[in-house]
Amino acid sequence: MIVTINKVGITGMGTVSSIGNDVSTFCNSLRGGKSGIKQTPIIKEPKISVDLAAKIEDFSFSDSIDRFQNVSEEKYDHAKRLGRRAPFVIQTSIISALEAWFSARLHDNKPLPERIGLIVAGQNSTQNYQYDLISKFRKNPEYLSPRYALEFLETNQIGVLSELFGIEGEGFAVGGASATGNVGIIKGYQLVHSGLVDVCIVTGVVADLSPMDIQGFINIGAMGGKKYIDQPEKSCRPFDTQHEGFIYGQASASVILESEISATKRGIPFLAEVKGYALNLDSNSSANPNVNGEAKAMLSALNQAGLSASDVDYINTHGSSSPLGDKTEAEAISKVFKDHRSDLWLNSTKGLTGHCLYSAGIVETIATVEQMRQGFLHPNKNLEIPICKDLQFCGTAAVDYQVDVAMSNSFGFGGINTSIVLKRR
């Protein structure tokens, strides 16, 4: 059981995604069932066999950062200097983290630097950056930018964001394959709950996959997109009988986790409370999911929250559109929620955003919090014939619905199972 004297909640959120470059636009896209999945021209050789993705399009760092100028000139100038020539994955992290920082009003009133922590949820996020530099390196190793030594490391995100926000508490990067975002939230929760920090920024980084990474996912059978190659919006179909694998998505997403004591002192409300979480392994080096492992994560998260299955109104599923993954999660939900399984609502944000890999858990936590706050559930975009009849999936249009307790699942290769429980405030 979590000791309730140090409650932890979310006090700020920010995102840059294929369906909105701020939380408000992202939320409107969720309600409208807008998909970010499109055909993306393949310009690099050799060409890979799937060209569907939900990419962040037309992103301009200088345009994106301009909206923060009025909030804090000093922070604006600093961010501009740090991000001006930084790689895309750093620039998008700066923007999502700034939005979260300002929405939590940390620019007005923040704890001491050593009481603020930073977790970067991301692994292998510079793959495409490295892939693009290979030809230059082959030409002459001396031509390689010395900044490469900083920028190929995941910890570059830690350096940039900690400098920007003046963070001197604990900071590190975490990886958990497709569950990386949830792993980041869980580790951030632990830092705040244990009292090591009062506030922790958790930033999920864009998975900037190289063509080789994408082809790897295709070759292992995890990525879809071939069946609906000419109808990109239909390609991601979580829990539909025609699902065939995940569709790659890009997003950076950040949340501010804060203790109730700190938030009260600063006069900032919780957007939602993190009631419980679980992270458990299957002891499995492969890619296949496991019903027992997923069920265990959901049950453990509920136990830690001090809630029972019947208290849950809604699950933001992992729902990646993978035939085996969807089937396994559906079975695990039935196992945990038993008779309540047909009363709680399910949807998958990946049907709209694609699978944002490392940031997916944070994107979906933001989606969950916004749905709770705004009183709606977003559509399951392409769910025409569900793979099972005994679960209650949202339809193809948004519905008004008040959720008080929600669960958000993320599962990753290597048998990594995570679940978090959120409560509306």
Partner 1 sequence: MDKNENDIFDLIATHVADISLDIAHGPIIRSSMLSPLGMDSIGRAELIARMLEELSLTASAREFYKANNLGELAALFANKLKEQ
DSSP 221: T
Label the pairing between strands 314-316 and 405-412.
parallel
Q: Which one of the spans 75-83, 230-238, 240-248, 286-294 is the region binding partner 1 (CB under 8 A)?
A: 75-83
Per CB under 8 A, the list member of 144, 196, 307, 388 interacting with partner 1 is 144
For residues 160 and 204, what is the distance between their CA atoms, to the nearest angstrom?
14
User: Cβ 94 to partner 1, closest distance in Å?
Assistant: 15
- Binding residue (CB under 8 A) for partner 1 from 74, 142, 230, 400: 142
261 binds partner 1 (CB under 8 A): no
> Min. distance of Cβ 343 from partner 1 in angstroms?
57
Distances (CA, A) of 328 to 200, 293, 321, 382: 33, 10, 11, 19
Q: Which residues, 6 or more positions from 379, have their beta carbon under 8 angstroms from its beta carbon?
A: 33, 347, 351, 394, 395, 396, 397, 398
Other Cβ atoms less than 10 A from the Cβ of 70: the count is 8
Among 60, 69, 137, 147, which residue sits at the site for partner 1 (rule: CB under 8 A)?
Answer: 147
Complex with partner 1: residue 47 or 136, whichever CB lies closer: 136
* Shortest Cβ 143–partner 1 spacing (Å): 4
| Cα separations in angstroms, 6 against 3, 192, 261 | 7, 8, 7
Nearer to partner 1, 133 or 196 (CB): 133
- CB 324, min distance to partner 1, A: 46
Q: Which is nearer to partner 1, 86 or 394 (CB)?
A: 86
Nearer CB in complex with partner 1: 84/226:
84
Which of 143, 226, 306, 404: binder of partner 1 (CB under 8 A)?
A: 143
Task: Give the interface segment with partner 1, choosing from 33-41, 74-82, 330-338, 363-371 (CB under 8 A).
Answer: 74-82
Instruction: Give the one residue of 24, 109, 145, 402 binding partner 1; rule: CB under 8 A.
Output: 145
Task: Tell me how long the chain is.
Answer: 425
Bridge partners of residue 346, in order along the sequence = 315, 393
Q: Report the candidate in 39, 204, 14, 7 with the shortest Cα–Cα distance to residue 96.
A: 14
45 vs 142, beta carbon nearer partner 1: 142
Cα distances (angstroms) measured from residue 279 to each of 148, 207, 271, 301: 33, 21, 23, 8
Q: What is the DSSP letter of 381?
A: T
* Region for residue 40 given its phi and psi (left: phi exceeds 0; alpha: psi -120 to 50; beta: otherwise): beta
CB atoms within 10 A of CB 131: 16
CB-based contact 183:101 (threshold 8 Å):
no
Q: How many residues bind partner 1 (CB under 8 A)?
A: 14
If the CB atoms of residues 145 and 308 are measured against partner 1, the closer one turns out to be: 145
Q: For partner 1, give the closer residue by CB, 44 or 136.
A: 136
Question: Which of 49, 63, 73, 85 forms a contact with partner 1 (CB under 8 A)?
Answer: 85
Single residue of 112, 150, 220, 385 touching partner 1 by CB under 8 A: 150
Contacting residues toward partner 1, per CB under 8 A = 77, 80-81, 84-85, 136, 140, 142-147, 150
